[in-house]
Structure 1
Amino acid sequence: MNWGHKITIVFILFAAGMLTLVTKSMRTRIDMASDNYYAAELKHQQTMDATSNANRLLTPVRITQHDEVLEIVLPAEMREQQLTGEIHFYRPSDARKDFKMPLTPDVEGRIFVGRQRFSKGRYSIKMQWEAGGKPYYQETQYYIQ
């Protein structure tokens, strides 16, 4: 085999490798962190203020897993106040597994979410609420077993 054939083989292998990479990259799902990224960026200062308010609470929001439910417990000082807000369960690896639900605690300040709504893996639990005219925001990284 002469050097001309070797160069042709190397070129063909290179072209086949490039086509493989292009094909794989075209089939890969890419989910953005937020569909409305620019609007969220404009609200960043409001989020920072709400996070500061949440950090001033006596205790943070507590999240625990039980057999069939995920339990979210609000601080005692929030239990007697009228709350409005929502919880966003954000799955960084797959946007199809994200979901939101309203913040509706029971009289003891607990919220229960069925474990069947989750897939095993890491979630970012983003809670935003308002109580007494003050906004609050807490984001917690949590691993669902």
Structure 2
Amino acid sequence: MRINWGTGLVLALVGFICFIMYFVIKMSVDSTYQYDLVVEDYYQQELKVQGNMEKEIKGNKLAQNVQSTQSEEGILITFPDSLDVSKITGKVFLYRPSNKQFDFEVPISLSNQNLLIPDNRLLGGRWNLTVDWQYNGNSYLFKKEIRY
């Protein structure tokens, strides 16, 4: 049986389409390949972007902004020295881009200028640190990407 070039072209095209469809179905059905959104309420978070930018600008205008350093004990978050720590409230959110099961949130409760995120809660790799804090009715935001 002879196959002319038109039949060969059609067979090659059908084979390629089957090859692509196999991978599309495999990726959408297999549970090991996750394609979650960054956050569950993505669209509600998108509406807050302008407010977050304003809070971040406010924090940058402070004489001393929040700072984070890595140590053997974990991540040390230092609040400005000029502020009364009893009036600082808010939360610290650590987001792990590779796996949302490791994300966690810590309320801000200070006895001095420092807040320590313990080493046992952190895995090696990339973390996105977000400190959303309030002082005397003003809201501030500090963001930093950390490689631990």
Q: Please, which moves more after superposition, 64-73 or 9-18?
A: 9-18
User: Quick one: percent identity of the two aligned structures?
Assistant: 24
Asked whether 1:127 is paired with 2:131, we answer yes
Whole-Å separation in 2 of the counterparts to 1:119 and 1:9: 50
Determine the structure 2 residue equivalent to 1:34: 39
Q: Normalising to structure 1: TM-score of the pair? A: 0.83
Give, as a single letter, the amino acid of the residue that structure 2 aligns with 1:18: I
2:98 to 61, 70, 93: 93
Asked whether 1:84 is paired with 2:86, we answer no
Whole-Å separation in 1 of the counterparts to 2:144 and 2:84: 20
1:116 to 99, 102, 120: 120
Aligned 8 A contact 1:125 1:141 in 2: yes
Number of residue equivalences:
143
Unpaired runs of at least 5, structure 2: none
Give, as a single letter, the amino acid of the residue that structure 1 aligns with 2:57: S
Provide closer, same or farther for how the CA distance between residues 62 and 10 of structure 1 changes in structure 2, counting only shifts above 3 A: same
Determine the structure 1 residue equivalent to 2:76: 71
Determine the structure 2 residue equivalent to 1:105: 110
SS in 1 for 2:123: coil
List structure 1 segments (4+ residues) > 6 angstroms apart after TM superposition. Answer: none
Q: Normalising to structure 2: TM-score of the pair? A: 0.81
Give, as a single letter, the amino acid of the residue that structure 1 aligns with 2:27: S
1:21 to 20, 23, 26: 23
Return the offset for 1:6.
5.3
